[in-house]
Structures are given as C-alpha cells and as structure tokens.
Amino acid sequence: MSARISLLIIIFSSGLCGCVKADVPNQKKVESTSQTAPSTNHFDQHFNDAGKFLDLKHSGDAYRQQGAYDKALLAYKEALDKHAYSRPEQSIALDRIAMTYEAIGDFKRAADNYELSAEVTMNEGNRDMLKSKASALRAKVANQN
C-alpha cells in the first residue's frame, strides 16, 4: 500500500476528514476553497493535499539532512500551513519543524514546536515522548542562561 493511500486511510478513519482543517494551537485556521459535500472531488482534494504534504515533508527531510535548515523549515511550514488536514499530519510537520530548530541549536523554538506537536498528536506514546523532548530542551535553555 502506498504512503499516500495509508495517509488517506488515517484521515478518513480518524474522523478528521472535512473541508476545514483541524485546529493547530497557535496556527491560523485555513479553509479549503471547496465547500462541497463528500464526493470524488472531495476525495481527490484530500488525495492531492496528502501527496503535496508528503512531497514537502520528504523535501524538508532531505534539506535538513543536507544542513539546508532554512529550506527545510520553509518546506515543513508550507506542509503544515497549506496541506496538513489531519492531526497526524499536523503533528508530523510540527515534529519536523522542532527537529530542524534543534539541529540549528534554537532549543527554545524546538521545545515550543515539540509541545505543539504533543498537543495535536493522537498517539499517547508520541505525546509523552514529545513532551519529554520539550522538557529536556527547556532544561538545556535554562542551563545556558
């Protein structure tokens, strides 16, 4: 099964499918241009956005691994702001943003984004891990001051 289809299954089975994106703390709410009832077009919209989300996530991952952190952040933020319609997608994008800030050494922003990711994740284990990462980074920031 392709990653895009797996992601769509998560979106539709999680009950978060809709034309209005789920709320992300501290993020502006973005509405879809289509307000139609569920249809093939609705499915196509989700499928296309899921594909764009994954493409941007993979691009961001590649940029981050190459040390091109500004480009990675741009890709992850576009994925979050324009193509993350489900809480799992939002959590993934916020986690990647946090990882990038951590790699840069901006531990405060990394902790902030790990906490945002923890707020929207649907996985309790991930929530605990993300909160732990945020706490460790906040302690690191406190020790630097």
Boundaries of every domain in the chain: 71-145
What's the pLDDT score for residue 10?
Answer: 54
Whether pTM > 0.75 for this model: the answer is no
Going by C-alpha positions, the residue among 3, 30, 31 that lies closest to residue 88 is: 3
Identify the segments of the chain with pLDDT beneath 50: 1, 11-23, 26-39
Going by C-alpha positions, the residue among 71, 89, 72, 109 that lies closest to residue 22 is: 89
The C-alpha atoms of residue 64 and residue 73 are separated, in whole angstroms, by 8
What's the pLDDT score for residue 32?
Answer: 38
